[in-house]
Amino acid sequence: MKVGIPRALLYYKYEKLWTTFFDECGIEYIISPETNKAIINDAANLAIDETCLPTKILLGHINWLKNQCDYIFIPRVEFVYRAQMCTKFMAQIDLVMNTFRGEHLKFLFYNLYKKGPKAEYKAFKKMGKYLGLKKSVYKYAYYTAKQAQVYYEMFRAQNQLQLLQQPTPQNKVLVVAHAYNIGDKFVGEPILRTLKNLGCRPIIAEYFDARECIQASKQLSRTLPWAYNQHLLGAIALYHEQVDGIVILTTFPCGPDSMVNEMIVRKIKDKPILTLTMDTQDGSAGLETRLESFVDILNFQKERPHA
Amino acid sequence: MRKEVVACFPQWGNYSHAFKFLLERGFNVKYLTPPPITRQTLALGSKYSPDYVCAPFKYCLGCYIEALAQGANCLLQIFGACRLNYYGELAEQILRDLGYDFQFMNMAGIQWLSPKSIMENFKIVNPDVSLVKVAAALPTTLKMIEYIDIVEDYLRRNVGFEVNDGDFDRLYQQFSRDLDTVESRKQLKKIFKSYWQRFRQIPLNKPAKTFKVGMVGDYYTVQEPFSNYFMEKELAKMGMEVYRDMNLTNSIVHNKWRERHKVGKKYAKYNIGATATFTVAEALQFAKQGFDGIIQVKSFGCTPEIDAMPILQNVANDYNIPILHFSFDSQTSEAGVKTRLEAFYDMVAARHQGGKR
């Protein structure tokens, strides 16, 4: 039996959790390749025009996986850290099932639909039972996987803090984007590359510790409902004084971001902010020009801090 | 001396009578009926809101600005399962940045399980609020919402077939005027009974076979006539019966969520967020009842409704029923909507004549 994991959306959040779980259970899996032009084209054909870019990419990856494996793994997550999620994470299973109806694909569902600390284990338990695993196997696999995920995140956060606090002549730029945007080869990668080429040090907001960030986000916005946006907003609240500028990367037409970005721009007044919106047809030239002029502003500010 | 509180809730269908009753009788403050939505409202709203936020936010913001200019000083916003949850805080921030002075009760910030939190938030509206009074006014408010929905349902089905033009409109205006004078539940019942009889007596010229159309869509767009370009009226003028299940009665007063979820389970296994589960279940019910068409209206970028679209297309394929998707933003032209509706009507009529069903 072979399970296919689409490299899209929640994969970038829970990569270690899922892969370790399958490893420990002894289940073979493949992960779809990095997003490329072909996948994007497939995605654009499969999805409704108005669907947001990450969801389109998910459909593209599933299209790639459909002939390569026995089961396609689709996650569905309703709550994270007791906070609500964007509805696209709740609709993933039904969206995929309805889009690929009539192709007789087999799916493996991972459904996290409750609040509370045990919810994640229950989701894995259900999946383990469906796969016909023993309780001892999936329980052990889950706890090992959880540990791997926690340590991975901790390590990443420490690394990111080090990068932030190290004194350097480079411009430090806080890149604010969801995990599935910043990790994607098509969406986030060009921006990080361009920033590095321009002599900046990108600090990724997503990699900071989630718990601290979510607590800090309450300073800026009290009723923000979405867990992942709370995380990003909290990172801005905590670290915006230590960076030179902020780049916000959004995909079109992201629901939560459309409102939260406005809030960020209205609340953070002391740092230059650049908002980039990506779509399926984005060429890289326009992007580079905008980033170049943004970096020019940062350099200009450094030379004449009180101008 | 304290300033007099003038509360306002954004324009939303014809429910302002109910909100007025709740705030005047329950909270004991003055209520400003929001000015009807015009192009100006939408222009104001889109000027100050972020680019691709959903259209209802723009309507709400425009409505707030107009209400503030008319003397309102306490604004209200409800909460929901989608972006609606964040409407309150962002709208408040934008209005504060514009320099307005007002109170804002954001129901998304209330913890409904904690009486302390409820009281604290209600005190924003009126510092001497009495929970007993609010609780006493609530049943009448809900009943009023129910009555409004009953009348509107009847109107939607029959307004296209009236013998004398404008009968329904005139009577409905009288009905809404009288609703504003309601003081008790008894009086409300009396008013409803008398008008209900008069509505039923309006002469109709209904042919034996009429085209039935079901409307589904996102919470605000489907309920607020201006935001769907008076589509219900337009359809009625063509001589169609319009059915719509999504209203306050079915979503708040008697929440039929579980029922709906069960109905749509074949197509949407899980809850797909906000009103999308409703949309799927309603469309399925319309299809099963042998309707002649389904129209989905939504604001541009409404995530749950977009996720429902592939499901609706599958429903349409399985039951062989035409479905029309409308996506509204601040710049959709009225003529374009009309043309598409006319084409839809022609198609429905042609299908009927061709005997394909």
Residues of chain A contacting B274 with CB distance shorter than 8 Å? 87
Among the partner residues A50, A95, A222, nearest to B109 by beta-carbon distance: A222
Query: Per-residue confidence at B357, pLDDT binned at 50, 70, 90?
Result: very low
Task: Out of 3.30.460, 1.20.120, 3.40.50, 3.40.1130, select the CATH number for domain B6-126.
Answer: 3.40.50
- What average pLDDT does this structure show over B58-74? 90
pLDDT tens for B28-42 read 888 888 888 888 888
**Which has the closest alpha carbon to B81: B274, B280, B219, B261?**
B274
Over residues B188-220, the pLDDT tens digits come to 999 999 999 998 888 888 888 888 899 998 888
Beta-bridged to residue A267, according to DSSP, are none
Q: How high is the pLDDT of residue A283?
A: 65
Please give the residue that has the higher pLDDT: either B82 or B98: B98
* Domain residue spans of chain A: 2-150, 167-303
Q: With CB atoms and an 8 Å threshold, state whether B304 touches A78.
A: no
State whether residue B113 sits within 8 Å of chain A by CB: no
DSSP secondary structure string for all residues of B58-80: HHHHHHHHHHHHTT--EEEE---
Let me know if the fold of B6-126 is the same as that of B209-357: yes
Which CATH architecture does the domain made up of B209-357 adopt?
3-Layer(aba) Sandwich (3.40)
A94/B274 touch (CB, cutoff 8 Å), yes or no: no
* pLDDT tens digits, one per residue of B250-289: 888 888 778 888 888 888 888 887 788 888 998 999 999 9
Contacting residues for B357 by C-beta, under 8 A, at least 6 apart: B290, B320, B351
Least confident of B2-6, B97-101, B294-298: B2-6
Asked if B301's CB is within 8 angstroms of A99's CB, the reply is no
Query: Which chain A residues are within 8 Å of B302, Cβ to Cβ?
Result: 255
Give the pLDDT confidence score for residue B190 in this predicted structure: 92
Tell me the fold of A167-303.
Answer: Rossmann fold (3.40.50)
Label residues B112-138 b or e (16+ Cβ within 10 Å = b): eeeeeebeebbebbbeebeeeebeebe
Query: Average pLDDT per run of 10 along chain A, which is 307 residues long?
Result: 90 91 91 90 87 90 90 90 86 90 87 86 91 92 93 93 88 91 87 90 91 90 88 91 90 87 89 86 77 90 70
Residue B2 pLDDT class (50, 70, 90 cuts): low
What percent helix, strand, coil does chain B show, rounded to 5? 60, 10, 30
Residues 272-311 of B with CB under 8 A from A: 272-274, 276, 300-304, 306-311
- Count A/B contacts: CB-CB distance under 8 Å: 119
In this complex, the residue of A48, A86, A223 whose CB is nearest that of residue B109 is: A223
A167-303 matches A2-150 in CATH topology: yes
Write down the pTM of the prediction. 0.91
What are the domain boundaries of chain B?
6-126, 130-206, 209-357
Q: What is the CA radius of gyration of chain B?
A: 21
Percent of the residues in chain B that have a pLDDT greater than 90, as a whole number: 18
Q: Which of B49, B82, B272 is the closest to A94 by Cβ? A: B272
List CB contacts of A150: < 8 A, sequence separation 6 or more.
Answer: none
pLDDT in tens, B162-174: 888 888 889 999 9
CATH architecture, domain defined by A2-150: 3-Layer(aba) Sandwich (3.40)
CA dihedral B119, B122, B124, B128 (to 10 degrees): -80
| pLDDT computed for residue B65 by the predictor | 92
Could you tell me where the DSSP H helices lie in A132-172? Answer: 135-165
Residue B171 CB partners (closer than 8 Å, separation 6+): B195, B198, B199, B202
Tell me the residue type at B341.
L
Of A51, A91, A259, the CB nearest to B90: A259
Contact between A255 and B301 (Cβ < 8 Å)? yes
What pLDDT does A6 receive? Answer: 92
CA distance A67 to chain B (A): 22
In chain B, what percentage of residues exceed pLDDT 70? 98
Closest residue by Cα to residue B80 from B297, B298, B251, B274: B274
Which residues of A are less than 8 Å from B327 in CB distance? 50
User: B50 vs chain A: nearest CA distance in angstroms?
Assistant: 6
Among the partner residues B50, B302, B304, nearest to A261 by beta-carbon distance: B50
Q: Do the Cβ atoms of A259 and B314 come within 8 Å?
A: no
Q: For A153-196, write each residue's pLDDT tens digit.
A: 999 999 999 989 988 888 899 999 999 999 888 888 888 999 99
Mean pLDDT across the stretch B337-357? 82
